[in-house]
Amino acid sequence: MRSALRRDREPKVDQFVIETLRYGTPLVYVTMAGVLASRSGIWHLGLEGLMIVGCCASVIGVVETQSIVVGLGLAIVLCVLGSVLLWFVIEKLRANPIIAGLGLTGLGLGGTDLAVQSIYGSQASVNAPFGLPRLGPAFGPYGVLSVLVVLMPIIVFALWLLLRRTRFGLRLAASGEHPFAARSVGAKPPRLRLIALCLGGVLCALGGTELALGSLQIFAYGMTAGRGFMGFSAVIFGAAHPIGSAAAALFFAVVGALGIRAQLIFGDQVPHDLLLTLPYIATVAGVWLSGRLRGGARAAATFGELRDY
Amino acid sequence: MKTRLIAVLRALAFVLLALVLCGVIFEFAGRAASTAGNPYSAILMFQSIAEGAILNRGAWQDSLRWALPLFITASGVAISFRCGYFNVGAQGQFYVGAIAATFVVDGMRGAPAALVIPLTFVAGILGGAVWALWPGVLRVKSGTDEVITTLMGNFIAGLLLVYVTAGILKDPSGTGQVMASRPVAAAYRISTSSGLSPTIIVIAVIVGVAMWLLVNRTAFGVLSSLAGRNPIMVVWQGARLSRLGLAGFVLSGGLAGLAGTVEVLGPNGRLVSGFLPTHGFTAILIALVASLSIAGTAIVSLFFGGLAAAGLYLPVLVGLPAAAIDIINAAIALFITARTWPGLERLFKHRAAAAGGG
């Protein structure tokens, strides 16, 4: 009786972990991009736009050339270009990072829509012939996950090393928190910000590719559905620490996966649309909590404006 | 006067820059479209947008139909930005206002219009105000960043809209495909589906005049715009910063809710799942392009109303993708808060130095 119950439960646990990782991996990648930007002093609200560009470019690349490398490369190139554009607008034109970031998001959402409609006519979505390489049957039920899922913890750890244990990382943090001090030791905050944003662009491309080609193998308009903003909130929740923010992102993923689970178990008894709001509510609660614990967010006077004059 | 002129020129210059960027994007997309058999050029795109916005017969009425609700929401956004709070949740407040209005107008079917219509407006305004109140309270009481809470509020409100239009408010006679509420009874409508009626114009004018007076002729207006620029100064003046901020939040939410009510009782005639998904973002843009002036907001609304009208015209009559309008809006957002151009500052400094020396 007991063993039967356990056998019944174990696959469900596996399923739950798989759902969490599927939901969470793209989220962790964009969150890391947000961590880099946040460290350099920019509140990155363009993550959503870069991510959808990553989704779209990787799928178009795969469809047109039948090569996953070209797809990923195209995604990376376009996301880095978008990041450079954002850097130019914020740093050189001194635009407000929040509004400029939202603009970049709009540009990504509209641009991918325009690209798909222009290239493939009025299709709602584009199917890719194949997706990212999977782990394979050697990993049991987890074999359905893509290689980028395994890469995720490595990237998080590498980012922690980069930010906390290297000269570059410390200078980056300095130029985010006190640009004047960073300058006094010979660092160039604008250049550091450019590097941080471009690295973030690469991470957004990876996140977008994982979302589009990891399990679904499809591009649909607006498929990121706020994940970029959720990643941004995870950065705030995790105080821009790579591991803390990744944990926050995974927490949002658990909430999202719980929603999916509850839907499978309880069916129509639970309103599906209201369950989908759970990650957003968790985000608000998390940001509220982190603000309380740290005695209020610092955005009061600055609202993310660069103070580097 | 001179600073105002410079502000206008600066806004125009950056809008122009955004349009140039859009032109480049359209040209590329148009070339790519030749594989699908429908190539277009950037010039054709801009020409079609101009036709859809003003040049065609009846186009300007259409533009005005879109401009009026946008103006109502945008003037609210301008108020909260003036108070120094980045309320980017106009979209959610617009949705919740529309939902609340629909509950009242749907629940009171059969009652006299003279009773239902005012109550619907009250419900819509309250709905929007409540949806702005909670981020405001969190901001003022606990320092929770309002950019995140209002953004998340947008997503939650969007899902709430899907939920009520698929559940409680769903039109039982409707098909499964379109999730919408029962149509609003003709007696309660304030315009036909064309969306232009004396009632709506009067509402927009009242909002415009009231907000202009509030900003330019009252203590609240003076203090709120001071609060946005120099909060410490306001505290020293003895004003309650948190109360000012909350008032800004509630006012902007209420106006967004009013715009939602206008859409439900007016042109839409019912609550549709996911309707006008870019309304709030466009309203924020309008407020920023107008550099938060109410009179400016009225003028800029016409431009963005024209773009919105063109967005409907493009795919239907010319066969061009409507995403072009979203791209124009986004590109303007990218550049509109820019304050300088590389080299420009140096040029001015140089001239100032020369003038000082001579």
Q: What is the C-alpha R_g of chain B?
A: 22
A69 interfacial to chain B (CB closer than 8 Å): no
Provide the domain limits for residue B278: 64-312
The one-letter code for the residue type at A144 is V
Structure letter (DSSP) for residue A139:
G
Residue A61 and residue A72 in contact, taking contact as beta carbons nearer than 8 Å = yes
Residues A174-207 pLDDT 10s:
888 877 888 888 888 888 999 999 999 999 999 9
* Rounded Cα distance, A175 and A181, in Å: 8
pLDDT band at A302 (very low <50, low <70, confident <90, very high): very low
Number of C-beta neighbours around residue B349 at 10 A: 10
The residue of chain A nearest to residue B149, with distances taken between CA atoms, is A284
Under an 8 A CB cutoff, do A99 and B337 touch? yes
Predicted local distance difference test score (pLDDT) of residue B174: 67
- C-alpha to C-alpha distance for A258 and A263, rounded to whole angstroms: 8
Give the ipTM of the model, two decimals please: 0.84
The answer to whether residue A298 scores a pLDDT higher than 60 is no
Total number of domains constituting chain B = 1
Domain assignment of residue B262, yes or no: yes
Residue B150 inside a domain? The answer is: yes
Residue A287 near chain B (CB below 8 Å) = yes
| Separation CA B232–CA A100 (nearest Å) | 27
Domain ranges within chain A, ordered by starting residue: 22-126+136-224
Task: Give Cβ neighbours of residue A271 (< 8 Å, ≥ 6 apart).
Answer: B163, B167
Whether B19 is covered by a domain: the verdict is: no
- Is the minimum CB–CB distance between B289 and chain A shorter than 8 Å? no
Residue A305 has a pLDDT of: 39
CA distance B182 to B172: 8
- For chain B positions 136-155, those within 8 Å of chain A (CB to CB) are 138, 142-145, 147-149, 151-153, 155
Element (H, E) at B171: none
**Does residue A252 carry a pLDDT above 90?**
no
Q: Is residue B42 part of a domain?
A: no
Q: What is the pLDDT of residue B346?
A: 61
Among the listed residues B80, B19, B70, B28, the one whose alpha carbon sits nearest the alpha carbon of residue B334:
B19
Spatial distance between the Cα atoms of B127 and A76, rounded to a whole number of angstroms: 43
Judged against a pLDDT cut of 50, whether residue A304 lies above it is answered with: no
Q: Token digits for A137?
A: 């049957």
With residues binned 3-state (H G I as helix, E B as strand, rest as coil), the percentages for chain A, rounded to 5, are: 75, 5, 20
DSSP per residue, B269-298: -S-BTT-STTHHHHHHHHHHHTTT-HHHHH
Q: Which of residues 227-266 of A touch B (CB under 8 A)?
A: 229, 232-233, 236
Lowest mean pLDDT among A58-62, A246-250, B230-234, B307-311: B230-234
| Nearest chain B alpha carbon to A225 | B155
Element (H, E) at A101: helix A97-120
The string of DSSP letters for B50-91 reads HIIIIISTTHHHHHHHHHHHHHHHHHHHHHHHHTT-----HH
Is the confidence at residue A296, as pLDDT, over 70?
no
Residue B338 lies inside a defined structural domain of this protein: no
| Residue among B162, B231, B338 whose CB faces A89 most closely | B338
Contact B124, B257 (CB under 8 A): yes
Q: In this predicted structure, what is the pLDDT of residue A50?
A: 95
Of A181, A228, A277, A294, nearest to A53 (Cα)? A228
Is this prediction's pTM over 0.95? no
B163 touches chain A (CB under 8 A): yes
Query: Nearest by CB to B327, which of A107, A274, A303?
Result: A107
For residues A153 and A147, give the distance between their C-alpha atoms in angstroms, rounded to a whole number: 11
**Does B348 contact A at CB distance below 8 Å?**
no
Q: Is residue B318 part of a domain?
A: no
- What average pLDDT does the segment A112-129 reach? 81
Question: Regarding predicted confidence, which is higher, A136 or B186?
Answer: B186
A94·B166 Cβ contact <8 A: no
Whether residue B353 lies inside any domain: the answer is: no
Distance, CA of B96 to CA of B255 (rounded, Å): 12
Query: What is the band of A5 on the pLDDT scale with cuts at 50, 70, 90?
Result: very low
**Rounded mean pLDDT for each run of 10 residues along chain B, 358 residues in total:** 80 89 87 72 85 83 92 94 89 96 91 92 96 93 86 91 86 74 86 85 95 90 80 78 88 96 91 89 91 91 92 80 88 85 62 49
Residue B206, classed as helix, strand or coil, is: helix
Residue B137, domain CATH: 1.10.3470
Residues in CB range of B263: below 8 A, 6 or more apart:
B69, B94, B98, B275, B276
Look up residue B193 and give its two tokens: 């589906």
Say if B184 falls within a structural domain.
yes
* CA torsion, ordered B280, B281, B286, B288, to nearest 10 deg: 120
